[in-house]
Amino acid sequence: MEHGSSSRGRICVVAVLGLALLAGGCGGSSGDSSSKTPSDSTTATGTAGSDSPSPSPTKKKKKKNVIAWVLSLGPGAPDGPPEFTAYRELQQLRCDKVFDRVAELQEPARTLYTGAARACLAAFAGRSELWPQSKVAYAAVAGRRGELTCMDQAAFALLERLVTLHAQFPHRAFDHAATTEAEAPPCPNISGLTPDHGPEGTQVKMTGHHLGAAVVGVDVVDSFGNSQPATNVTHAPGSLEFTMPAAPPGDASSVACIVVRAAPDWSADGAMFTYESAQAAQATTFACPSSEAG
């Protein structure tokens, strides 16, 4: 519940949707700070903070929004599905630009990103009339979370956070939080291959994050952009295991890119594997995931 002059307080939103939103003033005085209670300084995690006035306040330098890029995308990766474009607009708080993308989306993603964009405008652009529509979208998508992609899940987290906080503090304004580490969306991310070299038929263990249901395929891409699937793909907690297919042709590099594909079907991350073969050319590296993969 709100107390005293909390209606003039501000809600700080932190590390949602893979972005760190930075601005001065959040957590500082707003209105009559002498009558605030600890619950009046609320972060997106719902944790109460201190809003006590200080005789010598330290002013925070106001900064531009810092965008945390999708950490699981390697150099040369394709732009991905329409969800990725809509996600990037939300990342950069270009809330109104999301509406230009929703026509390309299928349900429930269309409702999700429309609702997230409206909540974004309501929270950060003063468009309070959009809150009811945002809540309707949240309720519609909440029961279909199993149909969302990894980036959709991050967008849903933002929508849920904004709608929930507004319901709890309907008269509070939103503000950017102080510096915080941004988080990547729950998309496939490779940390290593064991082994990372060997002949065709080698059994490889891939370790990383979000390598479970988010992965819809594992491809091996050579330096010419030719792709063939890995075989015998099995999932284990925090890892994937698979069998390397045939080596690249003799005029291609002996290095190949192992690409994990995420739903609906885009190259999410990649790692290099070196084939040991008598016919393999010299090892030359290239963009991984390949821009022609996925």
Block mean pLDDT (10 aa), the chain, length 294: 43 44 34 35 34 36 31 43 81 89 92 96 93 97 90 89 92 70 73 95 94 88 91 90 92 91 81 83 72 39
CA 21/CA 10 separation, integer angstroms: 14
Task: Give the domain ranges of the chain.
Answer: 6-176, 189-275
* Closest C-alpha among 262, 10, 285 to residue 154: 262
pLDDT score, position 77: 43
β-bridge partners, 257:
221, 272
CA 28/CA 25 separation, integer angstroms: 5
CA 165, 167, 169, 174 torsion-angle sign = positive
* Closest C-alpha among 218, 235, 201 to residue 269: 218
Give the architecture (CATH level 2) of 189-275.
Sandwich (2.60)
- 3-state DSSP helix/strand/coil percent for the chain, to nearest 5? 30, 25, 50
pLDDT score, position 203: 97
* Strand-pair category, 197-198 with 266-275: parallel
